Amino acid sequence: MRNTRSAFPILVACLFAACSAPRENPPEYVLPAEWEPHGAVWFSYYGDVTDTVLDKVVLAMDTATLVVCAVEGDSVAKSIALRWDSLGIPATVTGSSS
């Protein structure tokens, strides 16, 4: 059996050096943790227009969080916008990816 104890300090030093190296360019996008403030929450909607799971998720969220919903097709976008309006979910932009 090899003696790995002598390699451990070298491994720790390498990991510490790699993790503490300053970044030249900060990342353009940051994925915040669940408990951190979010600028917006993005959803994509490609399912059945009558599916209300997304509605329940959006209604349970903090009202200060911007919700962006990407959909495929204008008819789906209009259906979701009408349903969210009836539920009191504010729409800032309505559109589709097509």
94 inside domain: yes
The DSSP call for residue 69 is E
Does residue 30 lie in a domain region? no
Candidates 93, 98, 31; CA nearest to 67 is 93
The structural domain count of the chain equals 1
Question: Can you read off the two tokens belonging to residue 1?
Answer: 């059996």
Residue 79 — pLDDT band, cuts 50, 70, 90?
A: confident
In the DSSP assignment, the letter for residue 63 is: T
pLDDT tens track for 3-22: 656 777 777 776 777 776 66
Structure-block tokens of residue 64: 């200060």
Q: Read off the pLDDT of residues 33-62 as tens digits, 9 standing for 90 and up.
A: 888 877 788 888 776 777 788 888 888 887
pTM across the whole model = 0.53
Residues 6+ apart with CB under 8 A from 52: 83
Instruction: Give the domain range for residue 57.
Output: 36-98
1 occurs within a structural domain? no
Q: What is the pLDDT of residue 90?
A: 78
Mean pLDDT of the chain, nearest integer: 76
